Amino acid sequence: MTIAHALGFPRIGAQRELKFAVEAFWRGEASEAELSAVGSTLRRRHWAWQKEAGLDVVAVGDFAWYDQMLNTAALLGALPGRFGFDAKALSLKQYFELGRGNAGQPAMEMTKWFDTNYHYIVPELDAATAFDGGVDWLFYEIDEARSQGHAVKPVLVGPLTFLYLSKTKSAGFDKLDLVNKIVPAYRRILEKLAARGIEWVQIDEPILALELSADWQAAFAPVYRELGAAGVKLLLATYFDSVVEHSALINALPVAGVHIDLVRAPAQLDALLPGWPADKILSAGVIDGRNIWAADLSAKLGQLEAAKARLGDKLWVASSCSLLHSPVDLDSEDQLDAELKSWLAFAKQKLGEIAVLKRALESGRDAVAAELAASDAAARSRATSRRIHNAAVGTRLAGLSDADSARSNAYEQRAAAQRAWLKLPLLPTTTIGSFPQTKDIRAARAAFKRGELAEANYVAAMQAEIRLAVEKQEALGLDVPVHGEAERNDMVEYFGEQLAGFAFTRFGWVQSYGSRCVKPPVIFGDVSRPTPMTVEWSRYAQSLTAKPMKGMLTGPVTILQWSFVRDDQPRRDTALQIALAIRDEVVDLEAAGIKVIQIDEPAFREGLPLKRSDWDAYLEWAGRAFRVSASGVVDSTQIHTHMCYSEFNDILPAIAAMDADVITIETSRSDMELLEAFGEFAYPNEIGPGVYDIHSPRVPPVDEMLRLIAKALDVVPAERLWINPDCGLKTRGWPETEAALANMLAATREARAAIAEGRKLVVAAGSAYKAHAHSGDCGCNG
């Protein structure tokens, strides 16, 4: 029998029920029992959907109150000792404290799950970490699903992926040393599952999609020899990229089946099939777990039928990865038109697609003729729709020349032209763009969207905010002011709403981390800019000051990265279309007298492919897209870019190739460590390394910023150094923002004086501020 299954299902709920329940629990407004009841309801519903759709097993173990890696640590008993918690008796309150911190301990760190926008809690391991077992939630949920009449497939994060993604606290200690301890823990769990009569366990090892070093590759065979003998059948799940380079290793593992991602890496099927071991199941991940497009079922079937001819019943059908990364239910969308909706499928609809493919494989295409006809019709309309295909955009893209992706002259020449009119002091000061998004601002926007506030009144309210921001910056003495971005809800949505080719859902939420969800725009068609988007706001702001107002835009790569991107053309083409739209805006800003323009690219680095061997190709087109957006202006117009919390060391040449006149980056939390790479590389243009952390309301004292400025001056010549905070200030309040900026300007004045007098900056030793882990509540969407 062809088994149909999903690797996992989103847990947040179609109406974000989990988010609201968890947050009510945090506020003390819901009891643990009430929260548990919401979890049970969601699991019951999601399992029922899987069964009703026609899947053969339901995924259990994909549910998490906060994060699946944190759940795995709690299941294994591998919690950081610093909290002093007993993993076997862990309460929900303590579980959340691990993810969010408590009065005595900062939260465990959080980082991106591979190349998705989901963030997981990073396990903290050291030589003393025991894996003596912890909470029994998984077993409880298995019993729960069974009591509801489901065939259960437990899902676990595999031991090697768990270790690989964790961080070690003790120095000189190799994570792989813990293999001997973690394997018995997994073995005990698998044996417990076997004792419960579980047949199949999905064990996720997505690190197999990475280019693994020899020691990590070598770890697989002994680990799975041990786990393969635990009495359950293992389905080793890989996803997010091809595993062909590890095929010899995988084929030899004593696992009963392997899942591969045929959406991200469709070509691996043909590469793997000829050598596929006769005894292994192949689970074909053909339904995209990371996007919102309905599958072209006929095309998918073509691929599957070829595999079926070889594998027979050993072929399973599945989502490419967990559906965690797609929104929950398209049926909730009552404001999308029927045509657009026919092109989409959210997690619940994807379950149906998987089941249709299974039925077609088992009973022939005729058995699902109606479903295939509907899918064919949607595919045809996507291929030809005038809403998607705009000939003018195609023509413009085809006509792009090399000259369009480069400024006319080199940085030195541009810098001279810019200095001539900007006449900025040494160490010019600026901010990253946004100022506090106050309650009033949000209330005005919400009222405007509901139609309760007339457009003229909304504009007047935003102008008042801009005036306030400009006055405050004048009073503080910032050299290059900004308008403050009061009118923007979000740095991508704001532009998406004004660009052609974008659509917005009402409930297209995806979990970002913990209780935080994002609702990315949908890029469904060719992108173009019908009218200027920011020019009037910037023009107004400039009218209020004699200083050079900095115009603020979001860059093409970031808009691409933080949207659901169409799958019917290469990402690079979509990036270039967005780049052309941003270029038009840059040119219009320049014509309106805004001659300092920042194009934010905080997501530039996160677009990097998982495999290093694919990096150059990405950096090539991403860099080109940025330059296309930035190169329509004359030498004297100064282009800034901004990136937050990026590790640049390995991509500095590509960052330099973006050729922005000024780049501002986040450096204060790493104590300017990042900047050393810029120094070593001799970054050629101007840099503004952030001198204070905007992620907390703390007001850093003058000497602390002075110390960072002194460190920056060690690597960047004073003529090319800017002074600014780490990121935008939209999540801060005004009092701390003004106090921190006043200190930043005092530190700058002192640094300028020291340089003018030729004295070395004297800074108090050891005044470094130990930054907290990224909490995600900053201006950075990442």
644 lies in the site for Zn ion, by CB under 5 A: yes
Q: Which is nearer to ligand GLN, 226 or 485 (CB)?
A: 485
Cα(696)–Cα(692) distance, integer angstroms: 10
The label of the residue with tokens 């969407």 reads 781
Which tokens in the block code for residue 265? 């890496």
Which tokens in the block code for residue 682? 């001799």
Q: Active-site residue among 389, 695, 772, 774?
A: 695
Please name which of 654, 639, 724, 646 lies closest in space to residue 689, comparing C-alpha atoms: 724
Question: Which run of H or E residues covers position 26?
Answer: helix 17-26
Q: How many CA atoms lie within 13 A of 338 on its CB side?
A: 2
| Residue 687 CB, nearest approach to ligand GLN (Å) | 16
The label of the residue with tokens 């006043």 reads 742
Q: Which does 552 bind (CB under 5 to 8 A by kind): ligand GLN, Zn ion, none?
A: ligand GLN
Cα(365)–Cα(111) distance, integer angstroms: 43
| Residue 777 CB, nearest approach to ligand GLN (Å) | 12
Tell me the residue number closest to Zn ion, measured at CB. 644
Tell me the residue number closest to ligand GLN, measured at CB. 728
In sign, the C-alpha dihedral spanning 361, 365, 369, 372 is positive
Which tokens in the block code for residue 144? 């729960």
| Residue 601 CB, nearest approach to ligand GLN (Å) | 8
Cα(743)–Cα(692) distance, integer angstroms: 10
Q: How many CA atoms lie within 13 A of 243 on its CB side?
A: 27
222 to 129, 168, 246, 419: CA distances (angstroms): 21, 22, 15, 63
| Residue 709 CB, nearest approach to ligand GLN (Å) | 21
Which tokens in the block code for residue 465? 């905010």
| Residue 551 CB, nearest approach to ligand GLN (Å) | 11
Q: Which does 660 bind (CB under 5 to 8 A by kind): ligand GLN, Zn ion, none?
A: none
575 to 335, 553, 589, 665: CA distances (angstroms): 27, 15, 21, 22
Q: Which is nearer to ligand GLN, 149 or 697 (CB)?
A: 697
Please name which of 82, 84, 81, 95 lies closest in space to residue 36, comparing C-alpha atoms: 95
263 lies in the site for Zn ion, by CB under 5 A: no
Q: How many residues does the chain have?
A: 782
Site for Zn ion in 295-324 (CB under 5 A): none
- Exposure string over 57-66, b if 16+ CB within 10 A, otherwise e: bbbbbbbbbb
6 lies in the site for Zn ion, by CB under 5 A: no
Q: How many CA atoms lie within 13 A of 727 on its CB side?
A: 26
Q: Which is nearer to ligand GLN, 433 or 688 (CB)?
A: 433
With CB under 5 A as the contact rule, which of the stretches 250-258, 478-486, 637-645, 733-741 interacts with Zn ion? Answer: 637-645
Cα(414)–Cα(419) distance, integer angstroms: 9
Q: Which does 296 bind (CB under 5 to 8 A by kind): ligand GLN, Zn ion, none?
A: none
| Residue 491 CB, nearest approach to ligand GLN (Å) | 5
Q: Which is nearer to Zn ion, 314 or 695 (CB)?
A: 695
695 is catalytic: yes
| Residue 153 CB, nearest approach to Zn ion (Å) | 41
Cα(694)–Cα(437) distance, integer angstroms: 14
557 lies in the site for Zn ion, by CB under 5 A: no
Site for Zn ion in 51-70 (CB under 5 A): none
482 lies in the site for Zn ion, by CB under 5 A: no
Site for Zn ion in 114-133 (CB under 5 A): none
By rule CB under 5 A, what count of residues binds Zn ion? 4
Q: Which does 433 bind (CB under 5 to 8 A by kind): Zn ion, ligand GLN, none?
A: ligand GLN
721 DSSP β-pair partners: 687
Strands 550-554 and 152-157: unpaired
Q: Which is nearer to Zn ion, 59 or 644 (CB)?
A: 644
Which tokens in the block code for residue 466? 């801009």
553 lies in the site for Zn ion, by CB under 5 A: no
| Residue 727 CB, nearest approach to ligand GLN (Å) | 5
Cα(606)–Cα(588) distance, integer angstroms: 29
Q: Which is nearer to ligand GLN, 158 or 728 (CB)?
A: 728
Q: Which does 731 bind (CB under 5 to 8 A by kind): ligand GLN, Zn ion, none?
A: none
Whether residue 387 contacts residue 500, with contact meaning beta carbons closer than 8 Å, is answered with no
492 lies in the site for Zn ion, by CB under 5 A: no
| Residue 748 CB, nearest approach to ligand GLN (Å) | 19
| Residue 113 CB, nearest approach to ligand GLN (Å) | 19
381's CB contacts (< 8 A; 6+ apart) are 339, 342, 343
Q: Which is nearer to ligand GLN, 35 or 780 (CB)?
A: 780
Q: Which does 623 bind (CB under 5 to 8 A by kind): ligand GLN, Zn ion, none?
A: none
Q: Which is nearer to ligand GLN, 632 or 779 (CB)?
A: 779
Whether residue 323 contacts residue 116, with contact meaning beta carbons closer than 8 Å, is answered with no
727 lies in the site for Zn ion, by CB under 5 A: yes
Residues that bind ligand GLN (CB under 6 A): 432-434, 485, 491, 552, 600, 602, 642, 644, 727-728, 730, 779-781
Question: Which run of H or E residues covers position 370?
Answer: helix 369-384
Q: Which does 484 bind (CB under 5 to 8 A by kind): ligand GLN, Zn ion, none?
A: none
Q: Which is nearer to Zn ion, 64 or 727 (CB)?
A: 727
Strands 500-503 and 522-528: antiparallel
Q: Which is nearer to ligand GLN, 152 or 469 (CB)?
A: 469
Site for Zn ion in 589-608 (CB under 5 A): 602
Which residues here bind Zn ion, judged by CB under 5 A? Answer: 602, 644, 727, 780
Catalytic center residues = 695
